[in-house]
Amino acid sequence: MDAWIDLHHQVRRLARQGHYLFLTDNAVGEEEEENLAHLGANLAGEVDPGRVIPFLTSKHSLDYCLLYAERAWAQGCRALVVLGGDRTVGPPRCVPHAYQLRQTIRERVPDMVLGGWVNPHADPSRQAGYLADPACEADFWLSQVVSHHSVDRVGALLRELRRRKVRTPGVFGVFFYRSGRARTLERLRRFFPVPARALTREFDARATPEEICARSVEALEGAGVSNLYFSNLTLRTASRTLARIR
């Protein structure tokens, strides 16, 4: 019980500081508590639900996804990040592409703000083309995790978005690497590109996790990025960690 009280305190503090909290979905097919159920059971009345943005992947039935969107709206959530989900494991997607699910949700919950996904490590022209297409149905987008070691990819994507006059707001992801352990970095590479050698050199040079993360923030801001999300923070210490990164 004391652990949950502390957790609620930390979530309230983050919300009061103006942060939004993203709740991830079962994107890789493993059994876990549904994020909406977690929100309702553990955070109801503790946090402004308008500050919480759940992820929804298409690795569920279509009926479930539509009901999920309605439940999220009824609980006070005003935005959803709608993704495809990992094709290689777990149940199949209910639709081939995430934009198709966003289109269907838009019909069912028209006022919901819907987020998409962009991968700066992929071809920037194709990624910008997805956002430029009106069928994308994304009011905002999140990026795959990037760092100061991939700021060139971020710059290429931003240039292409400007060239195509895409004004959909984006939020770039920064991963908080806690160590340079080879086994940990190799495991993370299953989910996103990891600059393992460069990170190992930084940790070997006695850089702290906060310093390494701050280098990414500084490099991204220098490239023109104004919105960031942080992944892999420990919720109970997130406020202190963000303060140290600043």
Q: What is the pLDDT of residues 104-132, one digit of tens each?
A: 999 999 999 999 999 999 999 999 999 99
Residue 231 confidence (pLDDT): 93
Contacts of range 209-217, beta carbons closer than 8 Å, 24 or more positions apart: 209/176, 209/177, 209/178, 209/179, 210/241, 210/244, 210/245, 212/177, 213/174, 213/176, 213/177, 213/245, 214/245, 214/246, 215/147, 215/148, 216/146, 216/147, 216/148, 216/174, 217/174, 217/245
Residue 218 confidence (pLDDT): 97
> What's the total number of domains in the chain?
1
Burial of 52 per CB tally in 10 Å (0-12, 13-18, 19+): buried
| Structural contact between residues 74 and 108, judged by C-beta atoms closer than 8 angstroms | no
Here the CATH number for the domain that contains residue 177 is 3.20.20.220
Residue 88 confidence (pLDDT): 81
Interior/surface letters 35-45, b for 16+ CB within 10 angstroms, e for the rest: bbeebeeebee
Closest CA to 24 of 167, 168, 235, 196: 235
Tell me the pTM. Answer: 0.87
* Size (the chain), residues: 246
Distance between CA atoms of 136 and 7, rounded to whole angstroms?
36
Range of the domain at 39: 2-245
Q: Computed from CA positions of residues 57, 63, 67, 69, in that sequence, does the dihedral angle turn out positive or negative?
A: positive
Residue 14 confidence (pLDDT): 65
Residue 87: Cβ within 10 Å count:
10
Ranges under pLDDT 50 in the chain:
1-7, 27-30, 32
Residue 5 confidence (pLDDT): 43
